[in-house]
Amino acid sequence: MKRPTQADVAQLANVSRATVSYVVNNLHNNQVSDETRKRVLQAIETLGYQPDAMAQSLRLGTTNTIGLLIPDMDNPHYWHIAKGVEKETQSEDYDLLLISASLDPHRELHGVRALSRRRVDGLILILSFVDPQGSEVRQLLKQKKPLVVTNARVPEPDVDSVVINDLDGTLEAMNHLIALGHRRIGFVYGVAHQGLGSQRLEGYQQALRQIGQEADKSLIINCGTTLQDGYEGAKHLLNQSPRPTALMVINDLLAMGALRAAADLGLRVPQDVSISSFDDINLALFTNPRLTTVSVNASALGQSAARMIFNRLYDPHLPMQSVHIESRLIIRDSTGQAPVTPSS
């Protein structure tokens, strides 16, 4: 059974296709008599007619869709961002086309391309690999489509962006640990590729330098991005001797793995080892112990990004913007005084 078109409705109601369009869209400049309107509505009802969004898009040049490219679907952090985006799109009655790069450079590029082919009305790119200065992204800009990028290495001058100020939060967290007496601090650096989250690493090293430490390579473990990776990375670090008394973990997800690793090694958190991380996903408040973490408010990030899209949609001449999302340390129960007798 073919789906009914405007023409079918028109025929059944004995009017022209145009008239159907008028009643469907409640055109007020073009009044339709109550009588015909009723007939048309009736026909629509019996046929179960729904306007075809594709045809509308083609005609109007608009899709009512926002495209969102995220690096990975396995990390709650990105879910939170997506959630924020969705919240905003929902309230504007836009739909969400979600593409995950699956932490793969090829797929990421593919995603950018797919999104641009699809004529989404705006897109939000959370980039890990693709260069925002590269030709792919430039293409998009030329089309004058609202575009927001993030995770960009630098705030780009000629594209809207939302940048996370990781550095301050990281320094705050490190100073917190240092103030608690920690001197041997490990870093679980689980990222999809080198350079990502570099600000967090940078903050870690910078804080150490301030207390006269040179970054000790062996205290930085470079691992993957899954829970299991976090678990193993932390375990590796905690098995060193002398054992680090504190761990900075690149994100909460991995930190949950780290928590588990500590437990499995019979180490109490925070008595034996302190753990601090990033993101403040909502789970961080419910772990055992609750996580001390640098709060990034991913959902707000997503929402801001979406907000920027709509703002530009409604007023294309807006100057380029760069929204900064501040991070701040949330001290909970996973960090405490450094143990007085550092385990040899």
Which C-beta is closer to a second copy: that of 43 or that of 227? 227
340 binds, among DNA, a second copy, none (CB under 5 to 8 A by kind): none
Q: Considering the rule CB under 7 A, would residue 143 count as an interface residue with DNA? A: no
Q: How far apart are CA 260 and CA 339, in angstroms?
A: 20
Can you tell me which of 1, 60, 154, 340 binds DNA, judged by CB under 7 A? 60
Query: How many residues touch DNA (CB under 7 A)?
Result: 33
Stretch that binds DNA, among 26-34, 156-164, 165-173, 321-329 (CB under 7 A): 26-34
**Which residues, including other chains, have CB under 8 Å from residue 104's CB and lie 6 or more apart?**
none
Residue 264 is encoded by which pair of tokens?
Answer: 């499995």
Residue 52 binding DNA, by CB under 7 A: yes
> Which of 1, 26, 48, 61 touches DNA (CB under 7 A)?
61
Residue closer to a second copy, measured from CB, 99 or 247: 99
Shortest Å distance, C-beta 29 to DNA: 7
Q: Which two tokens stand for residue 61?
A: 């040049």
Binding status of residue 45 toward DNA by CB under 7 A:
no
| In the complex, least distance from residue 274 CB atom to a second copy, rounded to whole angstroms | 16
Rounded least distance, CB 98 to a second copy, Å? 4
Q: Which stretch binds DNA (CB under 7 A): 24-32, 138-146, 186-194, 197-205?
A: 24-32
Q: For a second copy, which is the closer residue by CB, 107 or 153?
A: 107
CA 145 from chain centre, in angstroms, equals 20
Q: Of the two residues 46 and 194, which places its CB atom closer to DNA in the complex? A: 46
CB of 147 or CB of 163, closer to a second copy: 147
CA–CA separation, 311 and 146 (whole Å): 9
49 binds DNA (CB under 7 A): yes
Choose the contact partner of 73 out of a second copy, DNA, none; CB within 5 to 8 A by kind.
a second copy
Q: Which residues in this chain contact a second copy in the complex, by CB under 8 A? A: 1, 3, 48, 50-55, 57-58, 63, 65, 73-74, 76, 79, 82-83, 86, 90, 95-100, 102, 107, 113-114, 116-119, 139, 142-144, 227, 231, 256-257, 259-260, 263, 282-283, 285-288, 290
What b/e readout covers 140-173, taking b as 16+ CB neighbours within 10 angstroms?
beeeebbbbbbbbeebbeebbbbbbebeebbbbb
Given the rule CB under 7 A, which of 11-19, 181-189, 233-241, 293-301 is the region that contacts DNA? Answer: 11-19
Q: List contacts with DNA (CB under 7 A).
A: 2, 5-7, 14-19, 21-22, 24-25, 27, 30-33, 35-37, 49-52, 54-56, 58-61
